[in-house]
Structure 1
Amino acid sequence: MLNVAMLSKWHVHAADYARRLQLHGNVKLTAVWDEQPERGSEWAAELGTDFEANLDTLLEREDIDGVVVDAPTSMHADVMVAAAQAGKHIFTEKAMALTVDECNLVSAAVRKAGVKFCISFPALTRPHQLFAKQLVDDHVLGDITLLRIRNGHDGALNNWLPEYWYDEKQTGGGAMMDLGCHPMYIASMLLGKPKRITSMFHYFTHRAVEDNAQCSIEFVNNAVALVETSLVSYKTPSALEIYGTEGTLMISDDTVRVISKNFDVAYPGWVSPNQLPQEQPLPIIQWADALIHDKTMPFGLEEGTKLTELLEAAYIAHKENRTVEFK
């Protein structure tokens, strides 16, 4: 049995993570900590677990094998370094941390302690993204010239996100730091090392952080990614488009179309695949299974750091109104 502590209910996904772990069958939630004790105490009562107001005291407990970090993003580095130093395995909500320097601190602590780490990249477990990666890896589309990804909803427009979601001190940013993480890590997976980035952020609802955002990223392989995200768009169809020198892939919601010079001559036009790759378990489940069965973690320190590298540069590009080059 894997014993897990929930470290804060701050993130909007925290309750779902706890529910999925409780349904796992081989996981037991043993304790809750929260930077807001009243919220944490109430949540612990709902989950039927202990509440501990002091993080260090909780991390000293021997009946905790791993922790799920859903604290404010600005607290991630401190919380995860402490967890690693206490010998606890870590699952964290994205983003890993606000800066690459913070990610490096976490990575050093995790490696020194020899614990396992996983970050939540759920889009990389889904059939459409797995199919896209398969086409890129197999060079079916030729050399990739343009990638466009869109991910959005109307959470800021219709006020169904918590108000602290717009507190930059806690979140580090708005739409791009939240929903924008998904297209960012997809772009990183498909295109590799970034070369430079520009940003266009907008404040449609006049909050302290952006609610509508776009980044243009050039990669070392000469591909360009257009990353679009929004908290003010109604019924936004997810979009993943990949344009290459020998083919094109178009995905919108559940519609998948691809055309390629590399297809059999009998199929010269657009086709929809009869079968997509099998959906993988969500990262939170893969993390738990990896700990229970001593398997390799799916999305680790390197992937988490690469995401933060893109996000940190995106916000610098926006705030300083310039193109940021990667080292």
Structure 2
Amino acid sequence: MTIKLALLGTWHVHAIHHLQDSRANPQAEIVVIWDSNAKRGRAFAAEHGLPFEPDLARVLTRIDISAVVVDTATVEHPTVIGAALDSGKHVFTEKVLALETADAERLVEKARSKGLVLRVSLQRLREAPIQTIKALLDAGAIGRVTSSRIRYAHHGAVGTPWIPAHFFNAEEAGGGAVIDLGAHGFYLGMYFHGEHPLSIQTLLAEVAGVGVEDNTVSVLAYPAGVIAVAETSFVSGFFGYAIEIIGTGGSIAVGPIDQRVMLKSAGSDVWQEQPQLAPLLATLDQFVDILLGAFEDPTHLETAVWLTRIAEAAYRSARTGERVAF
């Protein structure tokens, strides 16, 4: 069975990756493109040999289309995802689900009430180092976790920016580095620590003059006593990826030079490289498998809502200069 999909929006940089993933999956096929910016959508569709439909309602009433992939501007998510759910379509969307927690909660409730699958692409969860770190933590390899640092950054705003200009449009994106790369540190923190944070305090800076924050750090407190640092930046000179998790009985480190998972345990004088677990399927492939009957993680949508809640609180903290409690 082949799941026919519509790609709604080509605004996001991962739209091309979702198209590529669908074409690599024999059980999925993107059959039409829609975009609120017709010029952008037509160009993307023409480049990839697909039809463009300017009328969203016509796309959503097609009976051959079972599900949609949403890569619109983040600010459009509540409207576009809501319309898709109202039309009985399953939804796979780029992060974040919505810019405001109330909107995210409404979308989740709508999907549940209609019995539809709603998935947010939390793509770092699938990676081999992430799965390996989680397995080590679950096995108690470093004892009780006390702190963590997760850094996701790149130099996309340095010199001639390679990030599309609309990613620096706060009205469309909902912000800058926090709402984009910052999302990874937030949901990975919840994944590693196994709970939701109690509070967040965030500092924002604008270095490159692109109109949005491009250099940020957040400190989150967790119920078990963990203090977690989440860093993200668009102006990072090739120090883009690092994860450090410290416990009472050892530490785990990944990056920045490579993605080896290194462990140093109590009683050991050296860091030891750990064999890595296999990566999970690409997030779009996971979505297709769920539509075909695979098990769906019951905590996924709760995590998606919490991701919006954390990002929203991060911006509130930066505006007020205060720690925000959940």
After TM superposition, the score normalised by the length of structure 2 is 0.94
Aligned to 2:217: 214
Q: State whether structure 2 residue 322 is matched by structure 1 residue 317.
A: no
Shift of 1:217: 0.4
Q: Percent identity?
A: 31
Secondary structure of the structure 2 residue equivalent to 1:141: coil
* Alignment partners' CA distance in 2, 1:175 and 1:220: 26
Distance 2:45 2:63 in 1: 18
Matched, 1:172 2:171: no
Q: Which runs of 5+ in 2 are unaligned?
A: none
Partner AA of 2:294 in structure 1 = K
Match of 2:250 in 1: 247
Q: Deviations over 1:20-66 (max 9, x none)?
A: 20121222221111010122122223333332212122111101111
2:166 partner letter: Y
The letter of the residue matching 1:174 is G
1:216-244 deviation line (CA, Å, top 9, x unaligned): 00011110110001100121241100011
Conservation of the 8 A alpha-carbon contact between 2:12 and 2:71: yes
Q: Secondary structure at the match of 2:77?
A: helix
Q: Measure the CA separation in 2 of the matches of 1:288 and 1:273.
A: 34
- The CA deviation string for residues 108-154 of structure 1, in whole angstroms up to 9 with x for no partner, is 11111111121111211111111111122222212111100111111
Post-superposition offset of 1:284: 1.2
Separation in structure 1 between the aligned mates of residue 115 and residue 24 of structure 2, nearest angstrom = 28
- Conserved 8 A contact 1:257-1:270: no
Equivalents in 1 of 2:142, 2:79: separation in Å? 43
Given candidates 221, 224, 227, the residue that maps to 2:230 is 227
- Code of the residue aligned with 1:210 in structure 2: it is E
Q: Distance in 2 between matches of 1:119 and 1:204?
A: 30
Count of paired positions: 320
Work out the CA distance in 1 between the residues paired with 2:173 and 2:275. 39
**Residue aligned with 1:50, SS:** coil
* CA distance in structure 2 between the aligned counterparts of 1:99 and 1:25, rounded to whole angstroms: 36
* 1:274 CA displacement: 4.8
Cα distance between partner residues in 1 of 2:213 and 2:290 = 36
Is 1:288 matched up with 2:288? Answer: yes
- Counterpart position of 2:265: 260
Which residue in the other structure is 1:131 paired with? 132
Q: 3-state SS of the aligned residue for 2:272? A: coil
Q: Cα offset for 1:160?
A: 0.7
Question: 1:276 corresponds to which residue?
Answer: 276
Aligned to 2:184: 182
- The answer to whether the Cα contact below 8 Å between 1:188 and 1:306 also exists between their aligned partners in 2 is no
Matched, 1:297 2:296: yes
Counterpart Cα distance in 1 of 2:317 and 2:295 = 35
Do 1:188 and 1:307's aligned partners in 2 also have CA atoms closer than 8 Å? no
Question: In 2, distance between residues paired with 1:19 and 1:255?
Answer: 27
Paired with 2:113 and 2:55, the residues of 1 have a C-alpha distance of: 24
Query: In 1, are the aligned partners of 2:260 and 2:274 still within 8 Å (CA)?
Result: no
Residues 311-320 or 37-46, more deviating:
37-46
Instruction: Confirm whether residue 107 of structure 1 aligns to residue 108 of structure 2.
Output: yes
Structure 1 runs (4+) deviating above 6 angstroms are none
Question: How big is the alpha-carbon RMSD for the aligned residues of Structure 1 and Structure 2?
Answer: 1.5
Residues in 1 aligned to 2:29 and 2:263: alpha-carbon distance in whole angstroms: 44
The amino acid that maps onto 2:206 is Y
Secondary structure at the counterpart of residue 213 of structure 1: strand
Aligned to 1:95: 96
2:4 aligns to what SS in structure 1?
strand
1:194 corresponds to 2:197: yes
Q: Give the 3-state SS of the residue equivalent to 1:112 in structure 2.
A: helix
CA contact (8 A) 1:198 1:217 kept: yes
Shift of the alpha carbon at 1:172? 0.8
Deviation by residue 1:207-265 (Cα, 9 ceiling, x = unmatched): 3210000000001111011000110012124110001111111111323221223xxx7
Q: Distance in 2 between matches of 1:237 and 1:3?
A: 36
2:278 and 2:111 map into 1 onto residues whose CA distance is 31
In the superposition, relative to structure 1, how do residues 162 and 16 fare at CA in structure 2: closer, same or farther (>3 Å)? same
Q: Which amino acid aligns with 2:321?
A: N
The aligned amino acid for 1:96 is: L
Whether the 8 Å contact between 2:144 and 2:247 is mirrored in structure 1 is yes
Unpaired runs of 5+ in structure 1?
A: none
Aligned residue in 1 for 2:207 = 204
Aligned partner of residue 161 in structure 1, secondary structure: coil
Residues 4 and 28, structure 1, Cα contact 8 Å, conserved in 2: yes
Contact 1:117–1:300 (CA under 8 A) maintained in structure 2:
no
Query: Is the CA contact (8 Å cut-off) linking 1:151 and 1:239 kept in structure 2?
Result: yes
How far did 1:193 drift? 1.5
Match of 2:152 in 1: 151
